[in-house]
Structure 1
Amino acid sequence: MVVQIILVMFITGVLLGFVGAGGSGFIISILTVIFHYPIHTSLGTALAAMIFSSLSGSISHYREGNIILKVGIVVGLFGAIGAWTSSNFSYFISAGDLKWLTSGMLYLSAIVLWLRMFIIEHRHSSGIQSNPLPVGIKFWLLSGGIGLVTGVISGMCGIGSASFIQIGLMFILGMSIRESAGTTMMVIIPIALAGGAGYYHLGYLNIHLLIEVVMGTMIGSYIGAKFTRRVPMPILKTAMILVPVTAATLLLF
C-alpha cells in the first residue's frame, strides 16, 4: 500500500506540477475514492501537505519581490483563525455531507479559476497594474475578511483556496497579479498549518500517510513543472480547469 500511494502521488504530482496547481482537492479525491481513506483523514492530510509546497513557493516569490509582507501576515493570521475553527467544526459534519460540500467547493474553485484567468488577460490587455492598499481600519477589515472567509473554506474542505485568495487580493485590496500570486502562496502556509493542526487535534491527520503523499507529490511536481512551457497555452488552461472539476466529480462516486 505504501508503494502504491507514493507511486500514485508521484503521478498526481507530475500532473499538478504541469498545471501549476496545489491540487489538494485532487489528493483528497484519490485518497478517498481510490485508497478508501475516510474523507476527514483525506482532508486533514491534503491540507497539511500544502505546507511544504507553499513554503518552497513562498521563498521563491519572496526572493523575486512578489510578496507584500504586511498583507501576507494579516490575511494569513485571520486565515489561520478561520482554518482552525472550521477544521474543528468539521467533526460535526457527516462523511457524506462533507464529500458533497468539498465537491461543491471544488466546482466553485474551477469557476473562480476561470474568472481569474479572464481577469489576468483583461489586465494585461488594458495595462492595469495595482492600486494603493487601503489604510487604517479599512485595511484590517478587508484583509481580515479575506483571511477569515478563505481560511474557513480551506479548513472545512481541505483545499488551498488559492484562487479565492487571489481574487480577493486583486479585487478587494487592488493588488497586482504578480503580488497577489506571491502573497497568496505565503497566506496558504499559516492556513495549512492551522487547518492541519485542527485535524491532528481531532485525530484525523495520518502522519505516515502525510509523509507518503508529500514524497510522491513533491518529486512528481518538480518533474511535471518542466513540461509547463512545452505545451500550447490553450491546452494548459484547459488542464488547469479540469483538475478541480475532475477531483470534484470523483468525490461524487
Structure 2
Amino acid sequence: MIFVEVTAAMLLLGLLLGFVGAGGSGFIIAILTVAFDYPIHTALGTALAAMFFSSLSGSVSHYREGNMILKTGAIVGLAGAAGAWVSSGWSSFIPEDKLGWMTSGMLFSSGLALWFRMVYQAKHGGKSSSGQMKTSGMKYYASAVSIGLVTGALSGLFGIGSTPFIQLGLMLLLGMSMRFAAGTTMLVIMPIALAGGAGYYSVGYLDIQLLIAVVIGTMLGSYTGAKFTKRVPAVMLKTCMVLTPMLGAAILLL
C-alpha cells in the first residue's frame, strides 16, 4: 500500500516538476524522508537513480534537436560518474541528521545557482560570454574533467542533480552557449545518475521497488505538467523554477 501512496505523491510532485522543467531530485528526497519516513540515505539513492530515467528522454530530444555536444558531454559525464561513484560511498559515513542539513543547504545553493544562470542568460542572450566554445586543448580537457568530478561528487553525496552547477561550468569554463549547455547537461546527468545509483545500491541504500514507484509517478506527472509551461507568464515560471529546490530544502528541514 505504501508504494501506491508513494506513486500518487510522486504523480502530484511530477506535475510541478514538469511545469518548471526541473529534475526535482531534492524535492523527491524531501517527500520520501518527511512524508514517508524513509531514511535519508535510501531517499538519496532512490532520487539519484530516478534521474537517469528522467534525463534519458530529455537527452534523446536534445540530441535530435542538435542541442548537444557529444564529445564534451561524454568527457564531463564519465568524469562525473567517477565522482558520483566515489562520493556515494562517502554518504554512508555521514549521520542522517547532519546529511539532511547538508543536503538542504545544497538545495538552497542550487536555487541560487539557477537564479545566477538566469541572470547570465539574460545578460548574454543565450550566447557564451567568450564568443567561442572550447572543444580541444589541455585546458579544455582539464576543465571538462574538473566540471564532471566536482558536480558528480556533489550529486553522489547529496543525491541532487547539480543541473545548474553543470550548466554554469559548461558556460563559464568551456564557453558553451545556453542552448548547448542545456542539452549537453542532460547527457552528463545520465552516467552520473547511473553510477551514483549503483554506488548507493552497492552499500544497500537503493530500494528497487521504491525506485519503480518514484519513476512511474514522476514521469507520468511530468508529462502532464509540461503541458502547462507555456500557459503562464514567464516571470511566474522563472520564480517557480528558483523556488522549487528551495521549497524542497525547507521541507527537508522539518
TM-score band (shorter)? over 0.9
Q: Which string of whole-angstrom CA distances, capped at 9 and with x for unpartnered residues, describes residues 152-205 of structure 1?
A: 000000000000000000000000110000000000000000000000000000
Q: Structure 2: which 5+ residue stretches go unaligned?
A: none
Alignment of 1:160 onto 2:155: no
Q: CA deviation at 1:139?
A: 1.4
**Normalising by the residue count of structure 1, what TM-score does the alignment of the two structures yield?**
0.98
| Distance of 2:146 and 2:189 partners within structure 1 | 15
- Give the aligned partner of residue 40 of structure 1: 41
- Corresponding residue of 1:219: 220
Report whether the alignment pairs 1:240 with 2:241. Answer: yes
State how far apart, in whole Å, the 1-side matches of 2:80 and 2:133 are. 22
How far does the alpha carbon of each residue in 1:127-165 deviate from its partner, in whole angstroms, 9 at most, with x for none?
Answer: 968413152221111000000000000000000000000
8 Å contact 2:128–2:175 — kept in the other structure?
Answer: no
Structure 1: 5+ residue stretches without partners = none
Check if 1:204 corresponds to 2:211.
Answer: no
Structure 1 ranges of 4+ moved more than 4 A: 125-130
Percent of residue pairs identical:
60
Q: Distance in 2 between matches of 1:140 and 1:78?
A: 11
State the match for 1:99 in structure 2. Answer: 100
Map 1:79-98 onto structure 2 (within 5 A): 79-98=80-99
236-245 or 122-131: bigger deviation: 122-131
CA contact (8 A) 1:123 1:129 kept: no
Measure, in 1, the Cα distance between the counterparts of 2:174 and 2:248.
Answer: 30
Aligned partner of 1:20 in structure 2 is 21
Distance 1:209 1:35 in 2: 11
CA contact 1:81–1:151 (8 Å) conserved in 2: yes
The alignment covers a number of residue pairs equal to 253
Query: What is the one-letter code of the residue matched to 1:52?
Result: F
